[in-house]
Amino acid sequence: MNSRPIIESIHEKILPNGLHIVIAPNYKAPVVCVTVGYKVGSKDELPTKNGFAHLFEHLMFDGSTNVARGDYFRLAASAGGSPNAYTAYDQTIYHITVPAHQIELALWIESDRMMQFGVQQLGLETQQRVVTEEISQVVENQPYGSWRTKQAELAFSPDCSYSWEVHGSKEYVAAATMSDVQEFFDGYYRPDNAILTIAGDISAEDGFALAEKYFGDIPRLLTELSTLSGKGIEESEMLKVRNSLATSIAYPMQTSTGIADILTQQTMFWNDPSRINTLLSRYNRFTASEIQEYAKSIIKPENMVRVDVVPAGE
C-alpha cells in the first residue's frame, strides 16, 4: 500500500489564550478555508435549556461587535466567500472558504464574533422564530421526522444530555433570554475551548502570523447486527467495506473545506491533527474475526432500541 501521508504538511501552535491553531498548506488552488470549531454541542445543554447549541449557531450569524446584523453574509459574498456551519452532539463548527487574498477578512469576522457576544434582542427573537420554524418543518411536519427524537428518549435516561436531539425543543428555544445566551457564550465561546484551522493556499508562517494578529488579543474567559455476530465475514465483504471506507475518507479531502473540517475534528477529539493521515489504516488493522467478536459483544436483544412509526389512527 502507498504509505505517503494524505496531508504532508500540518503545523500546530497554541496561543497564550489557549486557542489551538492548525495550519495545512495546500497550493493546488488559490483558495483558503478558515474553520473555527468550538467544543460545545447539544450534550453540553441542560434538560430544561436544550436546543441552545443549535440556536447559538444561528445567533453567531446575526451580528457581532463590529459586524452589523446581516453584514456577515454580505461581507462574505462581496469577497467571493462561502460560509456555513453545523451543530452536532459534541461540537459546533463554523467555516468560510475565500479566495486566498481575502483571508484577512475571513479571520477578522471570525475573531470579531469570538471576541465578544454582539447579538441584540431583535436578533435573538428573529433566530428563535427561525429555529422553531425549522423544527416544525424538518421534524414535526415530516412523516418520519421524529424517529431520532423517540429513539434518543428510549436509549438514554432523561437526565442524560444525549436523550434529546440537537435541534432541542421549541419550548426551550422560544423561552431563551438574553442572559441565557450571554451565559452560554461566556461558558463555551472562548479561545481555550476552540480550534482555528486554516487549510489552503497559505504558508504556515503567514498563517500563524495572521492568527496571532486577529485572535491573539482575545482574552481567555474564566467561566469555565445479529447476522454479523452469528456467521463469519467473507473476505470479499471485508474488501468491499475497506474500499467504501477509503472512498468516504478520500472524498471530502478533495477540497480545502473538507480537509479543514477533518483536521478540526481530529484536533478537537484526539488533540492530534496528524491523525488525518492514519484514519484508513486504523480501520484496516482489524481482522474479520476481531470484528465478529466485537459484534457478538454488543449486538444483543437487550441492547436494542426499536422505534415504530405508525400512522395516526392505526
Element (H, E) at 11: strand 11-14
Residue 105 and residue 82: Cα distance in Å, rounded? 12
At 216 the pLDDT is 95
At 224 the pLDDT is 45
pLDDT score of 225 more than 60: no
Higher pLDDT, 295 or 84: 84
Average pLDDT of the segment spanning 98-109: 97
pLDDT score of 57 more than 60: yes
In a domain, 288, yes or no: no
Number of domains into which the chain is organized: 1
Using one digit for the tens of pLDDT, what is the confidence trace for 165-185? 999 999 999 999 999 999 999
At 306 the pLDDT is 74
Domain of residue 55 covers 11-224
Please report which confidence band the pLDDT of residue 1 belongs to, taking 50, 70 and 90 as the band edges.
Answer: low
Percent of the chain clearing pLDDT 90 (strictly above): 62
Higher pLDDT, 80 or 223: 80
Closest CA to 131 of 234, 62, 199: 62
In a domain, 37, yes or no: yes
Letter string b/e over residues 280-313, b meaning 16 or more CB atoms within 10 A of that residue's CB: beeeeeeeeeeebeebeeeeeeeeeeeeeeeeee
Residue with cell 471576541: 115
In a domain, 41, yes or no: yes
Please report which confidence band the pLDDT of residue 223 belongs to, taking 50, 70 and 90 as the band edges.
Answer: very low
In a domain, 314, yes or no: no
Closest CA to 252 of 266, 269, 233: 266
Higher pLDDT, 276 or 144: 276
pLDDT score of 147 more than 60: yes
In a domain, 64, yes or no: yes
Average pLDDT of the segment spanning 216-225: 72
Please report which confidence band the pLDDT of residue 314 belongs to, taking 50, 70 and 90 as the band edges.
Answer: low
- Count other Cβ atoms within 10 Å, centred on residue 85: 15
At 2 the pLDDT is 61
In a domain, 297, yes or no: no
By three-state DSSP, how is residue 72 classified?
Answer: helix
At 5 the pLDDT is 82
At 227 the pLDDT is 57
Average pLDDT of the segment spanning 232-249: 81
Average pLDDT of the segment spanning 266-274: 95
pLDDT score of 230 more than 70: no
In a domain, 229, yes or no: no
The CA-CA-CA angle for residues 88, 21, 65, to 5°, reads: 70
Q: Residue 123 is placed in which grid cell?
A: 436578533
Average pLDDT of the segment spanning 25-36: 96
CATH number of the domain encompassing residue 188: 3.30.830.10
CA 73 to chain centre: 20
In a domain, 139, yes or no: yes
Highest mean pLDDT among 29-33, 64-68, 178-182, 235-239: 29-33
Using one digit for the tens of pLDDT, what is the confidence trace for 60-97? 999 898 999 989 999 999 999 999 999 999 999 999 99
pTM (2 d.p.): 0.85
At 294 the pLDDT is 84
pLDDT score of 271 more than 60: yes
At 288 the pLDDT is 86
Average pLDDT of the segment spanning 195-217: 97
Percent of the chain clearing pLDDT 70 (strictly above): 95
